[in-house]
Amino acid sequence: MSQAHAPVLHDEVIAALAIKPKGYYVDGTYGRGGHARSILAALDQDGRLIVMDRDPQAIADARAKLGADERVIVIHDDYANLYARIAALDLLEGIDGVLLDLGVSSPQLDDAARGFSFQHNGPLDMRMNPQQGQSAADWLRHADEAEIARVLWEYGEERHSRRIARKLVEVRQSRAIEDTATLAALIAGVVPRPKNNRHAATRSFQAIRIHVNQELAQLQQFLETVLDILKIGGRLLVISFHSLEDRLVKRFIRAQSTPPKLPRGLPLRDSELKSVIRLKAIGKAIQAGASELSNNPRARSAVLRVAERAA
Mean pLDDT per 10-residue interval, the chain, length 311 residues: 67 97 98 96 98 97 97 98 98 98 90 92 97 96 98 97 98 97 97 86 96 97 98 98 96 91 63 72 96 90 97 87
Q: Same domain for 200 and 232?
A: no
Estimate to the nearest angstrom the gap between the alpha carbon of 100 and the chain centroid.
6
State which residues form the domain around 198.
Answer: 129-212
Q: Same domain for 31 and 173?
A: no
Whole-number pLDDT of residue 163: 98
Q: Same domain for 96 and 151?
A: no
pTM of the model: 0.92
Q: Same domain for 148 and 17?
A: no
Q: Same domain for 266 and 179?
A: no
Q: How many domains does the chain have?
A: 2
Provide the 10 A C-beta neighbour count for residue 199: 17
Is 27:51 a contact under the CB 8 Å cutoff? Answer: yes
Q: Same domain for 39 and 87?
A: yes
Rg of the chain taking only CA atoms, in angstroms: 21
What CATH number has the domain bearing residue 263?
A: 3.40.50.150
Whole-number pLDDT of residue 298: 83
DSSP notation for 192-260: PPPTT---TTHHHHHHHHHHHTTHHHHHHHHHHHGGGTEEEEEEEEEEESSHHHHHHHHHHHHHHTSPP
Q: Which of 172, 193, 212 is the last residue of a domain?
A: 212
